[in-house]
Structures are given as structure tokens and as C-alpha cells.
């Protein structure tokens, strides 16, 4: 019997009292809503030419009840933006390597615009009852993008894996390498499981691989992200606007910015909701943050030339971080409603229009980095009227000097053993 991500999240919501023992993996066999009774093998030029037409041909032939095979040992070159949002009851069995071309001019002009934060994707994968697996590799050919971004921060860098408008599916057993920007965008999707994904790929030049988030969820619900290893340079997982009913568990994150809610409240007139999030059994090393909630203030602010915002509204609620192990992480816990605004006086004068409430942080252990010693965390909101009911329990994290201090401010109802300075 197929048990979906939607069912897993419902089970979680019904059993939060014993959530520390929850493990979605044993409940989630691959989708088998409809049998795959046809098999199609993707051809390849084998000489570095664009293989996109072969990919489309195999998918069209085996859509609606088939199994598409990217052969082991074969390299497929993709130089065309592929709209695959029409998929239905199909398996994509990626055993070989798919590499996207480094034609930056083409991709800036033709990659799919996903509307949020100027996000674009090499391809769009959506539809219903879709499985992607096979142990193969998707390679974003990122080095040329890292070098180009160092010269021009306004270029549009494609996201490696775009899950756009998928209703029911599983993406698992894949290696994702050298994404130009975020590795995964999950947008307008529901009932999707990501499992056993290995993410890695830094820069070989002096120009770092920037904004390489592991996953960003956006306008999506009933998503499970689990059992994966992420080695990147930005958020390990980030819950962007209107992410609800999401389980993240059993991850190893290295070099990241933590498991992050946000950023939220970036756009005036937009209402951003993030609720019913459960993060369990995550190890974070060499990171800037462990658990992180980042909200823009009520006034226009600029984090960088290509990332500005503030003034949007909404709410963060019912978010639980449970079982977080850190090593050499700058802040074990970081909560801010002044994202992008260095002037805290101005932030408090124009507090966030987006509320934070019902946050639980429990069962944290490890040692922070020396960067903020003696602090192990910071929880500073813009006003207690829009930030409250935050509970911290069983946190044994220490700074290198042995202290357990937090920077705290403007929180109504901060509960637990929290020593603030």
C-alpha cells in the first residue's frame, strides 16, 4: 500500500507528543499508484551535443504509465530548457549523469522564471505520481556561474532541480553537484518525498559558490525531506513563503547557514505563512546557524545589492526543532525580525508586520564556534507585540569557553532555561 507524504505529515501532527521517535522513512515506499508497464531508454549523442530532444522523446513515449531509463555510465548533455510539468504516472530512472551546458547567455535568457527572488530553473518537473531515482548524478556545471556572479551579482543563475507543480511523487537516490544557485526549489507542490539525496560541489577558483541552498520550499505543503547529506554554502533547508506541513529529518549538513525559516516578509503586499514544520535529528557542522528564523522588518532594508526587502506581512507558527547536534556552528539558535537591517533602532521603530509564535526548540547538543563566544544563540525580535511563545528546553550546547548565554530581546513569553545577556 502506498503511504504518501501527506499521510506522514498527518501522522506527525497527530502524535507530536512522541515526535522524537517519529521516522517517516519506514512508512514511505515508492509511489505505486499506477503500474509502469512500458520502458524507454534515453539515447545520447555521446559527443557533447545537446541530448534534450532524446530526453523529451523518451518521456513522451513513456509518460502515463512508463519507466524512462538514463543508462548507467552514459553522460547526457542538456542545453535546452525543458518544461516537464505534464508528467503523469512515470518513473525517471537516472543511472547515468545529466550535465547542463555552461552557456550562460542561453540559460539567462531561457531558464524558467519562478517569480520568487528572481529564481530560475534549468527545467520544471511537475505533474502527478512521478518518481525520480536511480543513483545517478545531475551536474549544474556551476564553476562558470560562480566566476560570472563574482563579476555581476545581478545575473540570473539557474537552480539545479526544479520541482514545480508536482502532486504526489518521490525524488530519491540522486547525487546533485555544482548547482549555479540553490540545489532544489520545491514550488506549488504537495505530497512529495525527498530521500537519500547527496549534495556537494564547491568552487575551484577564488570565487565561492554562493547561495547554494540545499532545498527551498515555496507555496508547498506536505513535503518530507530526509536521510540526506548536504555539503553546501548556504541554508541546508529553507522554508520560504507559504510552506506548510513539512517534515525534515535525518540530515547531515556541513558548511551551511542552518535549517532556516525564511527569509519572510520581503515583499510589501505579500502575506507569507510558514506553519506546521517539524525538524528532527539533524547534524550541522561548520555552519553559521543551527536553527534559524529570519524575518524582514517593517521598513525597506538591504542585505545586499541583489537582496532587498521588508514590509511584508504574515506569520510563523507551530515550528519545532527537535534533536539538533552542532559542531563549530556560530549560533546554535538564531531568531531575528531585523533581517537585512543593521540599524536595530530603526528596526524597532518599524517592527515586522510578520508575527512569530509557538516555536519549540528542544534537545540541542554540541559546541558552538568561537565567533560569538560567550554567546551560543541570539533571539532578538523587533517588538514583543509580534513575537512570543518561544520555548527552549533540554539545550546543552556550550560555547568554547563553556558558557550557555543568549542575546535576547523583544520576546513575549520566552520559556525555558535561557540565560540572557
In the chain, where are the structural domains located? 5-420
> What's the pLDDT band for 304 if we cut at 50, 70, 90?
confident
pLDDT digits (tens, 9 = 90+) for 133-180: 999 999 999 999 999 999 999 999 999 999 999 999 999 999 999 999
Q: What is the C-alpha separation between 95 and 367, in angstroms, rounded?
A: 39
Residue 36 has pLDDT above 50, yes or no: yes
Which residues belong to the active site?
Answer: 257
pLDDT at 274 over 80: yes
pLDDT above 80 (res 300): yes
* 218 alpha carbon, distance to own chain's centre: 9
Cα separation, 272 vs 278, in Å, equals: 18
Find the mean pLDDT for residues 217-232.
98
| Residue (of 187, 195, 249, 252) closest to 216 by Cα position | 187
Residue 120, beta-bridge partner list? 113, 158
Start-to-end Cα distance in the chain: 53
How much is the average pLDDT of 267-286? 97
Name the pLDDT band for 302 (thresholds 50, 70, 90). confident
Region 295-319 average pLDDT: 92
For the cut 50, the answer to whether the pLDDT of residue 2 exceeds it is no
- In the predicted model, is pLDDT for residue 416 greater than 70? yes
- Average of per-residue pLDDT across 94-106: 98
- Answer yes or no: is pLDDT of 5 > 90: no
The mean per-residue pLDDT over the stretch 88-98 comes to 98
3 pLDDT above the threshold of 70 = no
pLDDT of residue 28: 47
Using the 8-state DSSP alphabet, how is residue 96 labeled? Answer: S
What's the pTM value of the predicted model, to 2 decimals? 0.94
Please tell me the predicted confidence (pLDDT) of residue 306.
Answer: 82
pLDDT in tens, 368-398: 999 999 999 999 999 999 999 999 999 999 9
User: Which range (15-29, 235-249, 251-265) has the least confidence?
Assistant: 15-29
CB-based contacts of 396, cutoff 8 Å, min separation 6 = 364, 365
Give the closest residue to 240 by CA, choosing from 208, 268, 210, 273: 273
Spatial distance between the Cα atoms of 90 and 127, rounded to a whole number of angstroms: 10
pLDDT score, position 9 = 59
In the structure grid, which three cell numbers stand for residue 14, read together? 497527530
| Average pLDDT over all residues of the chain | 93
Residue labelled with grid coordinates 509518460: 63
CB 6 within 8 A of CB 13: no
Q: Class for domain 5-420, per CATH?
A: mainly beta
Percent of the chain surpassing pLDDT 70: 92
Residue 19 — pLDDT band, cuts 50, 70, 90? Answer: very low
Amino acid at each position: 500500500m502506498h503511504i504518501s507524504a501527506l499521510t506522514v505529515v498527518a501522522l506527525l501532527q497527530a502524535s507530536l507528543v512522541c515526535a522524537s521517535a517519529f521516522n517517516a522513512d519506514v512508512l514511505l515506499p515508492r509511489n505505486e499508484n499506477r503500474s509502469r508497464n512500458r520502458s524507454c531508454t534515453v539515447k545520447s549523442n555521446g559527443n557533447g551535443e545537446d541530448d534534450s530532444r532524446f530526453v523529451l522523446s523518451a518521456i513522451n513515449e513513456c509518460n502515463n504509465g512508463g519507466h524512462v531509463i538514463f543508462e548507467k555510465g552514459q553522460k547526457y548533455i542538456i542545453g535546452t530548457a525543458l518544461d516537464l510539468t505534464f508528467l503523469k504516472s512515470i518513473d525517471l530512472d537516472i543511472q547515468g549523469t545529466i550535465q547542463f551546458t555552461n552557456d550562460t547567455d542561453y540559460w539567462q535568457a531561457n531558464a524558467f522564471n519562478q517569480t520568487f527572488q528572481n529564481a530560475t530553473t534549468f527545467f520544471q518537473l511537475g505533474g502527478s505520481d512521478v518518481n525520480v531515482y536511480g543513483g545517478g548524478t545531475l551536474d549544474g556545471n556551476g564553476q562558470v556561474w560562480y566566476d560570472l556572479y563574482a563579476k555581476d551579482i545581478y545575473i540570473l543563475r539557474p537552480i539545479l532541480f526544479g520541482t514545480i507543480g508536482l502532486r504526489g511523487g518521490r525524488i530519491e537516490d540522486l547525487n546533485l553537484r555544482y548547482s549555479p544557485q540553490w540545489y532544489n526549489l520545491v514550488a506549488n507542490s504537495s505530497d512529495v518525498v525527498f530521500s537519500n539525496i547527496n549534495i556537494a560541489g564547491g568552487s575551484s577558483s577564488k570565487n565561492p559558490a554562493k547561495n547554494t541552498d540545499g532545498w527551498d520550499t515555496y507555496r508547498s505543503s506536505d513535503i518530507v525531506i530526509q536521510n540526506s547529506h548536504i555539503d553546501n554554502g548556504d541554508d541546508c533547508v529553507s522554508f520560504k513563503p507559504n510552506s506548510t506541513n513539512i517534515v525534515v529529518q535525518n540530515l547531515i549538513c556541513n558548511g551551511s547557514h542552518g535549517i532556516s525559516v525564511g527569509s519572510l516578509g520581503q515583499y510589501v503586499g505579500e502575506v507569507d505563512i510558514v506553519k506546521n514544520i517539524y525538524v528532527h535529528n539533524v547534524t550541522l557542522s561548520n555552519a553559521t546557524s543551527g536553527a534559524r528564523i529570519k524575518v524582514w522588518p517593517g521598513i525597506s532594508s538591504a542585505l545586499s545589492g541583489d537582496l532587498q526587502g521588508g514590509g511584508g506581512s504574515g506569520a510563523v507558527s507551530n515550528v519545532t526543532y527537535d534533536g539538533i547536534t552542532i559542531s563549530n556552528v556560530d549560533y546554535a539558535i538564531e531568531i531575528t525580525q531585523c533581517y537585512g537591517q543593521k540599524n536595530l533602532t530603526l528596526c524597532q521603530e518599524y517592527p515586522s508586520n510578520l508575527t512569530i509564535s509557538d516555536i519549540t526548540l528542544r534537545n540541542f547538543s554540541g559546541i558552538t564556534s568561537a565567533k560569538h563566544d560567550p554567546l551560543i544563540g541570539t533571539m532578538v525580535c523587533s517588538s514583543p507585540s509580534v513575537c512570543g511563545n518561544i520555548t527552549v528546553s533540554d539545550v546543552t550546547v556550550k560555547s568554547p569557553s563553556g558558557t550557555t548565554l543568549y542575546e535576547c530581546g523583544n520576546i513575549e513569553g520566552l520559556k525555558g532555561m535561557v540565560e540572557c545577556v
